[in-house]
Chain A
Amino acid sequence: EAEVAQSPRYKITEKSQAVAFWCDPISGHATLYWYRQILGQGPELLVQFQDESVVDDSQLPKDRFSAERLKGVDSTLKIQPAELGDSAMYLCASSLEWGGSTGELFFGEGSRLTVL
């Protein structure tokens, strides 16, 4: 069964260091999302791609976060420098459809970040 792949599953870093997360969506899924989930809360959208283009990054803290999806397939989310408040689960999701309807979202297992 096709899955959304994410790595690393766990990352521990010290504040002010750089960290990067990788996501490979389900093959053929044009839309890719990065969400952040703080413990006990629902996921919050950070950035949304349609193919290689960013369609929504309004909630992405652009002073320290960046995201790219250069060839419209896999994606990287980077944080530099990491802060204590960035400790969270970073979830990647993909969907097949666009043009007015998200279609069903499929999530990866997530990357748990701990900033010390």
Chain B
Amino acid sequence: KQEVTQIPAALSVPEGENLVLNCSFTDSAIYNLQWFRQDPGKGLTSLLLIQSSQREQTSGRLNASLDKSSGRSTLYIAASQPGDSATYLCAVGNNDMRFGAGTRLTVKP
């Protein structure tokens, strides 16, 4: 069974810092890895999707990389802003997606 781990569980940084969130998974036979953002009490917003043939995706200040062989993905956030404060979740899988518990990010002004 796929196990997804996200480290750290929580992170607090001052505004402007670059930061990295980590996601690891146990079964490397995946088609997709997707990063989401979740604000308190809300649904999940898709940030980036990396398909199995890809190694990274970029959107604005966000960059996600995927290393299937080591079972790892990182989400890099450049020049963090208070509006980036949220929980970030990664999901991996094939026809079904399994989630980590998320990293709760706080960006302080």
Contact = CB atoms under 8 A, between A and B. Distances in A.
Interface of A: 4, 6, 33, 35, 40-45, 48, 55-56, 91, 93, 98, 100-110, 112
A59 to B, nearest CB: 10
B31 A106 contact: no
Contacts of B100: 42
Contact of A101 (B31, B44, B91): B31
Chain B contact residues, majority secondary structure: strand
Contacts of B97: 33, 45, 102, 105
Interface in B12-40: 31-32, 34, 36
Chain B, interface residues (CB within 8 Å), range: 20 to 34
Interface in B27-62: 31-32, 34, 36, 41-46, 49, 51-52
